[in-house]
Amino acid sequence: MRSDQCRTLSGFVQIPISVKSTRPAALVVTHARYDFLSMLPSTESLASRGHRLQDTTLQRQTATYSPETLIKVEVEEARHRLLANFVDDSRLVLAEGEVKQMRLWLSNAGARIIREIWMVAGPEDEVWLDCNDHPETVPTSK
């Protein structure tokens, strides 16, 4: 990922990662390792310091903090996973009443067959589906 593709939030850089698991698991992400300027190997803790405790007199006199907060991730098995991408990746800006045709590519990235897909639209959205462009890709039932 290029640095210009990263978004910043409160001065932090968000870098997406993905984990594909064959079985469910619980992960704790404690550190990040990277090469700074492609030359200097670096390791940083991803734990954030707990909040300052001020319940007792001793806690108020000496800086005392709660335990560090770690990043905990629940990974589910990749049974059903549908990837949806627009074929035309241009920006969609429409005037009121304007209609634009867009192509959507759906692919199954999971381990099991997807038998049903639901499309959820808002009350003001109008979605028309057309599968007649490539009849050989439309599944047929026997």
For the chain, give every domain's residue range: 19-75
Q: For tokens 């707990």, name the residue.
A: 50
pTM of the predicted structure, to 2 decimals: 0.41
pLDDT at 70 over 70: yes
Instruction: Give whole-number Cα distances, 20 to 32, 36, 41, in Å.
Output: 18, 27, 26
The mean per-residue pLDDT over the stretch 27-49 comes to 86
Q: Assign 13 a pLDDT band (cuts: 50, 70, 90).
A: low
Query: DSSP for 6-63?
Result: -EEETTEEE-------SS-EEEEE-EEEEEETTTEEEEEE--BPPPBP-SSHHHHHTT
Query: Which pLDDT does position 7 carry in this prediction?
Result: 46
